[in-house]
Homo-oligomer: A and B are copies of this chain.
Amino acid sequence: MRIGELAERTGVSVRALRYYEEQGLLASERSESGQRRYIENAVGRVRLIQQLYAAGISSASILEMLPCVVTGVAAPEVLAKLHGHRSSVVKQIEELQETLLQLDTVIAGATKAYATGVPCPPG
């Protein structure tokens, strides 16, 4: 498929897809005239990249771990980094859960207080 279709199917901009390629994260064949052609597989790959980005993992780290994701095999060095990222993700989840509690407290309190008729200046 061409880049526009991949963009549409993944919800990622064309510019971003070119950037992924630039970073070595996403491969493409080229047509005679030089246009990028992607295999079906690319859709899943792009989603994976987005997921890892969302976890705060940098392009460089993703680049390092991608071959292992694909082949399912990793050298000890890489494996150690994978464990590191795992820990980081776990920590992020814990922190977000704590944030959620705080937000819930605020929401509960604010809802109740507002019902009693003491408004807070709106933004």
Assembly stoichiometry (copies): 2
Q: How far is the CA of A102 from the CA of B44 in the complex (A)?
A: 13
What chain B residues lie within 8 Å of A64 (beta carbons)? 123
Q: How far is the CA of A55 from the CA of B88 in the complex (A)?
A: 14
A59 to chain B, nearest CB (A): 13
A99 to chain B, nearest CB (A): 5
Residue from A76, A113, A114, A123 having most chain B Cβ neighbours under 10 A: A123
What chain B residues lie within 8 Å of A92 (beta carbons)? 54, 96
Query: Across the interface, do B99 and A96 meet the contact criterion of CB distance under 8 Å?
Result: no
6 examples of A-B residue contacts, CB within 8 angstroms: A69-B102, A73-B113, A82-B103, A82-B106, A89-B100, A93-B97
